[in-house]
Structure 1
Amino acid sequence: MVLLLLLLVVICLLLIYCKIRRRKRRRPHCSTSPISSTKRNFTFDQVKEFTDGFSNFLGEGGFGHVYRGVLPTGRDVAVKRLKVGSGQGEREFLTEVEIISRVHHKHVVSLVGYCTTGSERILVYELVTNNTLEFHLHGEGQNLDWPTRLKIALGFAEGIAYLHEDRALKIIHRDIKAANILLDSEYEPKIADFGLAKCISESKNHVSTEVKGTFGYLAPEYVLTGKLTEKSDIYSFGVVLLELITGRKPWGSVENSMGLIDWARPQLTRALEDGEFNLLVDPKLQNHYDNNEMARMVACAAACVRQSAGRRPKMSKIVLALKGDLPLSDLNDGIRPGLSILYRFFQSSDDGTSQDHGNSSSSEGRRRQTT
């Protein structure tokens, strides 16, 4: 009798073990080690040769330096060399190689290869020649006219929609910002820097994680709870839209501590109600923009930066709205922007998310900011 019971227990344990194994095989995941990329693994000597001894410096980030290189085939590349000995840099390196090797989209920067010789951690990308969106909006870059800003917004939205919705495995970027949008010679945007990205399977709606990202772009509910969803990216995207519209940086200045979101929210509602955008729009545009196109982008920005994550639209809806293929009322549960008490109520209500979340996110974000 005892032997029979033991046999039954063993059989049950084997069945449970087999079931768990099958689930693991079916479940998509983003591993961080070892590297299982199909991209080329360069030796350090090869990288040193095609960068001419790392002599052509392009820029510097939080975890390393970027250099220009030319492959033996004649292809121009950007080479990101991580600082040696950074534990966080190592994790970001593994994450970036794993994730970016999986994605293929015209608005996502492509990985050419990598190097893991000794302690060296190097990423080799396609070269995107026209610097970052941040450089052009807030730095010394060329002023962007309205058609260019709209093109950047649409391409950027299409790239995020691909990451969120066009794949079996949902990829959340987690560090959407103007500095991570590269522009090519035609000002087409490419999303870069996937070191903080997370993968979420279809069966999950969020992942709990340490709060990371950049102050000014972090969604309030992510800062407060650590629960990461695609709506966190959508909030950050909304901040970038506001930068394109207003020309302002997402954080306050020494003279004015009010951040972009706090300043913009009442302005957005007012502009959509009366159809006048001049007080909201970047003075550098000199009022040279299409009013209907501006209304679409302003409505998208307002929808993306809502306090309630549940009321932020999916990115595929934003793409359609920016193109003019979706009524703006579809971003607001059927309520059309205009002189409407219902619309104003909709914009200010938050599905149980306290208005204080937006204010507390600033101080909380400063404490948890990592880049």
Structure 2
Amino acid sequence: MRHCSKTINAEDEWSPELEPQRFSYYELQRATQGFDEKNLLGSGGFGSVYKGTLADEMIVAVKVFNVQMEGTLQTFDRECEILRNLHHRNLTKIISGCFNLDFKALIVEYMPNESLDKLLYSRDYCLNIMQRLNIMVDVASALEYLHHGYSVPVIHCDLKPSNVLLDNNMVGHLTDFGIAKLLTKEESIAHTRTFATIGFIAPGQFIV
């Protein structure tokens, strides 16, 4: 993971876990037109996601973390650790990252059809039965990989329609690993409690 700084003369650093492409804070600012609200794709407790266009015309999603909120650093580190190590067609791909003491962001692939949540409640678009079935298979494939396809089982902990993003071909991609858990062998056997927020279930969990 590399650093980026808001000071123009500061040198960026990066580590080989992420793509070695370099982005500065100002590049992300230009890409999102100053983090303009018209480019806002969504927001949550730990930050906001913006649509951005890089200098090479590549369209990306820029996830900016709220560094003032307690727990953001742990969330940022956990998402970096998971996304840079996992590779599956139904998981969102990380492109790079940019961070210093007062700015932390991840640059991830952009999903043109946004989230399953938005399509489920859209007045302009209706998912047909085959699209819904295919998306369920996509999510199930992602979960199967997280639980059994990686050396350490990964528990997402926040599975809901707003965390399922859809690409140009309506393929589902699971995203947002901020509260995910990596389990050791002992934990995967012994852990029986629920990780997600107690008493909470997202509306529209069932898409058929």
Normalising to structure 2: TM-score of the pair? 0.81
Query: Higher helix proportion, which one?
Result: 1
The one of 173, 186, 196 equivalent to 1:212 is 196
In the TM superposition, what are the counterparts of 1:114-193 in structure 2 within 5 Å? 114-140=97-123, 142-193=125-176
* Aligned counterparts of 1:127 and 1:104: Cα–Cα separation in 2: 16
> What letter corresponds to residue 17 of structure 2 in structure 1?
S
- Give yes or no for the alignment of 1:44 onto 2:7: no
Count of residue correspondences: 188
Corresponding residue of 2:70: 87
**Residues 1:194 and 2:167 are matched in the alignment:** no
Change (3 A) 1:147 1:71: same
Residues 157 and 195, structure 2, Cα contact 8 Å, conserved in 1: no
> Bigger radius of gyration, 1 or 2?
1
Is this contact kept in 2: 1:135–1:141, CA < 8 A?
Answer: no
Aligned runs of 1:1-371 on 2, under 5 Å?
37-40=17-20, 42-55=23-36, 56-140=39-123, 142-204=125-187, 205-207=189-191, 211-213=195-197, 215-216=200-201, 240=205, 243-245=206-208
Q: Alpha-carbon deviations, 1:82-129, whole Å to 9, x = none?
A: 123112222111110111111111100001111113311111110011
In structure 1, what residue type is equivalent to 2:69? S
Higher strand share: 2
State the structure with bigger RCO (CA 8 A, min sep 6), 1 or 2.
2
**Mean Cα deviation higher: 203-212 or 81-90:** 203-212
Question: Which structure 1 residue ranges, 5 or more long, are not aligned?
Answer: 1-34, 218-238, 246-371
Give the counterpart letter for 1:212 in structure 2.
A
Change (3 A) 1:118 1:46: farther
Amino acid at match of 1:194: F
- CA offset digits 1:287-331 (Å, max 9, x no partner): xxxxxxxxxxxxxxxxxxxxxxxxxxxxxxxxxxxxxxxxxxxxx
CA distance in 2, matches of 1:203, 1:211: 16
CA distance in structure 1 between the partners assigned to 2:123 and 2:63 by the alignment: 23
Q: Residue type of the partner of 1:244?
A: I
CA RMSD of aligned residues (A): 2.4
Deviations, residues 38-86 of structure 1 (Å, cap 9, x unaligned): 2456321222132222222222222222111122332110011112311
Paired with 1:159 and 1:65, the residues of 2 have a C-alpha distance of 24
For 1:131 and 1:244, the matched residues in 2 are separated by 16
Following TM superposition, by how much is the alpha carbon of 1:131 offset from its aligned partner in structure 2, in angstroms?
Answer: 1.5
In the TM superposition, residue 139 of structure 1 has moved relative to its aligned partner by 4.2
In structure 2, the partner of 1:32 is none
8 Å CA contact retained: 1:48, 1:54: yes
Structure 2: 5+ residue stretches without partners: 1-14
Equivalent position of 1:19 in the other structure = none
